[in-house]
Amino acid sequence: MITAAANQQTQKPNTTYAVMLCIYFCYLFRLSIGAVSQFFNWTIPEIKLSDSPVFNSLYYLDYFLWFIFGFWSIILALKGSKHAIPCLKLCLPFHFIALLLTSLTKVSFINLSATWFTLLIVLFPLIFFIYLCKSKEIKEDYPKTDRRLGVPGFIGIVLYVILALLLIQLMVADISKRRFSKKIDPTKIELFAGELTDGRVIFKPNKTWIMDSTVELNSVQDAFYFHDTASSSSICVVCATEEYTPPSRQFYIYSISENQPNEIRKFYKSDISFKEIDIDEYIIYVDQYYYQVDTTFYYWTYASKLGKKLDKGIRLSVLEKDSLRTSISNAVEFLESTSLNVNDRLLKKNRIY
């Protein structure tokens, strides 16, 4: 009986099982190398910019611990440990779902061979998991009665519990943020003299700005269009719920290309100036560009105030002809005077408790 137990403890993997383990090792090794690269390139900056650095740190720590747990499971399998099969069955679903979620947006249907290869990589943990559950060889070599969760399996369960708690916290924080970011009926907001709001942001246009009611509103974002009586400039103020948090220069650059005036887009000549103001509550970006259409000069000032704790932003676009009259300080002054938190200005008689 003792000899039989010893042989079971040192059971070596069959050929198919060994090949699967080898592929799984290469799979984990490649993902871990990519994860290390991502950690230095954007994970650390994301943690630093986040308003919940401890939460983000725990999330990524749990993610990296799954790599360690995967390698540990492979070692247990090569040793023929009775804990190997339960541990592999614990870590394979995690890697399958994690890679599936990160790969859905990266699959290109232009290159079919690359698509099928990517799909095969994504499906491998699922294939391996099904093999462990259905293979007759696995059932014969590693009977269910001899398998044990043990300490390694308990650690895998703890990692799932930590992940579940982090996801619950993330959902609660997201619901809380959206509560303060959602659009509110503008008639319920108390406005002071000269102020305007779309239900997300409160701002006060300059005295020389005259609202242009002839311009059709953007169907995606609430935009306010003005003409400056002093400079004949075209001005657009956009209030919106921001998709990307925390705000970053990278995503702001995307918005520049999207909001560049169509009539001068192809006549770009050079950048004029740029400014960034970063404080606890929000970040402000201001950019100015120069265009030339034949003998006519145009100057475009584009600025954004993006909330860090509220998923809100307000954007200012000023298109001026022949002479640049809007300075960086003008744009900053306007944005700093705006309020991203409209909840503080809800009329008491309409406030819901």
Query: Are 116 and 220 in the same domain?
Result: no
Query: Are 163 and 231 in the same domain?
Result: no
Query: Are 160 and 58 in the same domain?
Result: yes
pLDDT at 269 over 70: yes
Using a CB cutoff of 8 Å and minimum separation of 24, what contacts does 286-293 make?
A: 286/328, 286/331, 286/332, 287/256, 288/324, 288/326, 288/328, 291/264, 291/267, 292/267, 293/264, 293/267
Q: What digits encode the pLDDT tens for the residues 320-352?
A: 998 888 999 999 999 999 999 888 888 754 444
Report how far apart the first and last C-alpha atoms of the chain are (Å, whole number).
71
Q: Which SS3 state, helix, strand or coil, does residue 276 take?
A: strand
The rounded distance, in Å, linking the Cα atoms of 246 and 306 is 9
> What pLDDT sits at residue 319?
93
- CATH number (domain holding residue 260): 3.40.1000.10
Query: Are 227 and 293 in the same domain?
Result: yes
> What pLDDT sits at residue 246?
65
- Domain range for residue 100? 2-180
Please indicate whether residue 117 or residue 161 has the higher confidence score (pLDDT). Answer: 161
Query: Are 176 and 206 in the same domain?
Result: no
> What pLDDT sits at residue 289?
94
> What pLDDT sits at residue 244?
67
pLDDT at 193 over 70: yes
Query: Using an 8 Å Cβ cutoff, are 330 and 316 in contact?
Result: no
Total domains in the chain come to 2
The rounded distance, in Å, linking the Cα atoms of 351 and 353 is 6
> What pLDDT sits at residue 318?
94
180, 204, 229: which is the final residue of a domain?
A: 180
> What pLDDT sits at residue 214?
65
Q: Which residues of 193-232 are buried (b: 16+ CB within 10 A; e: fewer)?
A: eebebbbbbbbbbeeebeeeeeeeeeeeebbbbbebeebe
Residue 304 to residues 251, 252, 255, 317, 331, Cα–Cα distance (Å): 11, 8, 10, 9, 9
Average pLDDT score over the chain: 80
> What pLDDT sits at residue 341?
87
pLDDT classification of 153: cutoffs 50, 70, 90: confident
Query: Are 346 and 219 in the same domain?
Result: yes
143, 158, 180: which is the final residue of a domain?
A: 180
For every residue of 82-128, DSSP letters joined together read: TTHHHHHHHHHHHHHHHHHHHHTTT--SSSHHHHHHHHHHHHHHHHH
The two structure tokens encoding residue 38: 């991502």
pLDDT at 16 over 70: yes
The rounded distance, in Å, linking the Cα atoms of 294 and 308 is 42
Q: Which SS3 state, helix, strand or coil, does residue 187 take?
A: helix
In sequence order, the β-bridge partners of residue 298 are 291, 321
> What pLDDT sits at residue 176?
72
Q: What digits encode the pLDDT tens for the residues 304-324?
A: 999 887 888 899 999 999 888
The two structure tokens encoding residue 102: 């990160």
Query: Are 176 and 235 in the same domain?
Result: no
DSSP 239: E
pLDDT classification of 103: cutoffs 50, 70, 90: low
pLDDT at 302 over 90: yes
150, 180, 210: which is the final residue of a domain?
A: 180
Query: Are 14 and 106 in the same domain?
Result: yes
> Which segments within the chain are labelled E, that is strand?
196-197, 202-203, 209-211, 222-228, 234-241, 268-278, 282-293, 296-307, 312-321
pLDDT at 225 over 70: yes
Query: Are 17 and 141 in the same domain?
Result: yes
> What pLDDT sits at residue 110?
41
Query: Are 137 and 228 in the same domain?
Result: no
Query: Are 107 and 54 in the same domain?
Result: yes
pTM: 0.56
The rounded distance, in Å, linking the Cα atoms of 306 and 312 is 6
Query: Are 137 and 167 in the same domain?
Result: yes
* Distance of alpha carbon 175 from the chain centroid: 16
